[in-house]
Amino acid sequence: MENGNQYKLLPTFGDAFGAGWRVMSDNFLRLLLVVFVLIILAGPMHGIDFKLDESNFRGFPWKWDGNWHELFGLASLGVFALFIGFIALLYTFLARPVVEYGGKMIFVQAVRKIKPDFELLIRGFWENYLHIILANLMVFALVVLGLFALIVPGIIIGCRLAFTAYIVMDKKLDPIEAVELSWKLTKGHGWTIFLMGFVSFFILMGGLILMLVGILPALIWVKSSFASLYQSVLLEKEKPAEAAVAA
């Protein structure tokens, strides 16, 4: 099901998941390592579960018994919680996108049958950093605004901007150009992206049922499928231009 040395890439639901499966099969160990590193680098703050127990508030402030040690202890606890939350917020918006965007580009390389460059996971910190951070913030803001507008617009915006991360890494465009190109490329493919996202949820849930044995292959398959869709849409949009040049 391949054309020469390339995968058969068509911008449809079935072909995207089919190509994604073949990409996963051909590059399983390499992509397994990428996903494993993404889990470690992109989600360290998920393991922080800071909670205040009921006992922390006993006797304070409505029944404070005059124990200043308790007052200062609770204040310190609050400051520490705020500090951890601030660090998590900074990491989420200033570091995590670099790793995630780099991971997406590695999967595109796998689709293109290029040996994955693991340095892409961190290269964004010294190359294209500002564009990555601003693009991520722009997409986040637009989707959130859309979700506030009765949810459906947010889903539509999320689907139409699904290629922004790939474009920033692949085409080295600035955030606005990347958002505009993603909107252009996904025209006519919004439902495909939505359906793939919907089905991907159940694929990942199925992987979770099998614990780590299943979640890692599930993640590889989903990421490979979306990278395949991006590459297939890119090829589809480039064909008219190639035909015009040939004419």
Residue 71 in any domain: the answer is yes
Residue 220 in any domain: the answer is yes
| Portion of the chain with pLDDT greater than 70, in percent | 78
Range of 136's domain?
10-241
* Number of independent structural domains in the chain: 1
Residue 247 in any domain: the answer is no
Residue 3 in any domain: the answer is no
Token representation of residue 15 = 């072909």
DSSP 165-207: HHHHHHH---HHHHHHHHHHHTTTTHHHHHHHHHHHHHHHHHH
> What pLDDT is stored for residue 2 in this prediction?
42
Residue 152 in any domain: the answer is yes
Q: Please tell me which residue, 139 or 3, carries the higher pLDDT value.
A: 139
Question: Residue 105 above 90 pLDDT?
Answer: yes
Question: Residue 47 above 70 pLDDT?
Answer: no
| Portion of the chain with pLDDT greater than 90, in percent | 60
Token representation of residue 3 = 């054309």
What pairs with residue 3 in β-bridges?
Answer: 6
Are the C-beta atoms of residues 220 and 24 closer than 8 Å to each other?
yes
Q: How far is CA 29 from the centre of its chain?
A: 20
The separation between the first and the last C-alpha atoms of the chain, rounded to the nearest angstrom, is 29
Q: Please tell me which residue, 48 or 230, carries the higher pLDDT value.
A: 230
Question: Residue 95 above 70 pLDDT?
Answer: yes
Residue 246 in any domain: the answer is no
Question: Residue 69 above 70 pLDDT?
Answer: no
Neighbours of 165 (CB within 10 A): 25
Task: With cut-offs at 50, 70 and 90, classify the pLDDT of residue 5.
Answer: low
Q: What is the pLDDT of residues 124-181, one digit of tens each?
A: 999 999 999 999 999 999 999 998 877 889 999 999 999 999 999 999 999 999 999 9
Q: Give the pLDDT mean for 104-121.
A: 94
Question: Residue 243 above 90 pLDDT?
Answer: no
Residue 4 in any domain: the answer is no
Q: Give the pLDDT mean for 12-28.
A: 95
Residue 222 in any domain: the answer is yes
* Residue 6, helix vs strand vs coil: strand
Q: Between the CA atoms of 184, 162, 240 and 109, what dihedral angle is there, to the nearest 10 degrees?
A: 150
